[in-house]
Amino acid sequence: MANLSEKQRAELPDSAFAYIDSHGRRRLPINDEPHVRNALSRFNQVSFESEAARDRARTRLLKAAKKYGIVPVGFITGQVVNVRERAEIAARESDASSLPRGVVTFLFSDIEDSTGLTRQLGNRYARLLAEARSVLKTAVRSAGGQVVDIRADELFAVFKGAPDALVAAVTIQRAAASRLWTDGARVRIRIGLHTGRPTLTDTGYVGLAVSTAARVCASAHGGQIVMSDPTRHAVDASRPQGMSFRDLGLQQLRGLPEPERLFHVEAAELPHE
């Protein structure tokens, strides 16, 4: 792919770029197939001014990819920054002094096939994302948890007690299943729960417990709640009636030193398969 000269860039319309910042600087050319492929590979290297700006650039880039018949396999996954780094960055932006200390339970969630929903809804995806965030934050706060970070379709929350985290997770899944989403879209949320003793610094949570919770979430399917063995032990004595935990066995989760025993949460109005 030949690099664009300054003259060639100047002659291109704004629509030929995925991202234009507030100062008018134009980034990520998408004027032809080679430049779209280059923009897909370089997307994570761009410093966006806000998550909203990132979302708009992502939407324009995906539209361009569709125009040129490019299937951006792994594009969304490739945008996921290292889980530990993301958690530390997110925690620095929160009020660390208000976060619970000691043994806590983390809840991570994201939307399955968010790329497909972006393609389906286009600019209307932003409305659906706002609806999803409202559902997530309401459930977390109603159960006594705190939102540590919420970006794009991902949520990171913390609870002092594991039973409260489980209540929030079930509430989220029931709300997602019963809600009429934007344009009739099918929204399936993955949820992972893990209990541990992270380190709380003056900038937020760090440690293996954070990474484990995120990997547990990544192991789930849309509509499913998966919990680690420490969380199962923490909630077993106060398990609500009609709820059960199906043993999924030991699973080697990416980036973790040892396999984790995982459990699928079964409850009324939640999918069992």
Instruction: Give pLDDT tens digits for 111-141.
Output: 999 989 999 999 899 999 999 999 999 999 9
pTM: 0.65
42 or 196: which leads in pLDDT: 196
State residue 206's pLDDT score: 86
DSSP secondary structure of 143-208: TT-EEEEEETTEEEEEESSHHHHHHHHHHHHHHHHH---GGG----EEEEEEEE--EEETTEEESH
Residue 163 belongs to a domain:
yes
Number of domains in the chain: 2
Instruction: With respect to residue 206, please indicate whether it lies within any of the assigned structural domains.
Output: yes
Q: Please check whether residue 43 is in contact with residue 61, taking contact to mean a CB–CB distance below 8 angstroms.
A: yes
Same domain, 28 and 141: no
User: 44 and 139, same structural domain?
Assistant: no
Q: CA-to-CA distance for 227 and 168, rounded, in angstroms?
A: 13
Give the residue numbers spanning the domain of 229: 82-266
Examine residue 7 and state whether it is found in any structural domain, yes or no.
no
Tens digits of residue pLDDT in 188-244: 999 999 999 998 877 778 899 999 999 999 999 999 999 999 999 999 877 777 788
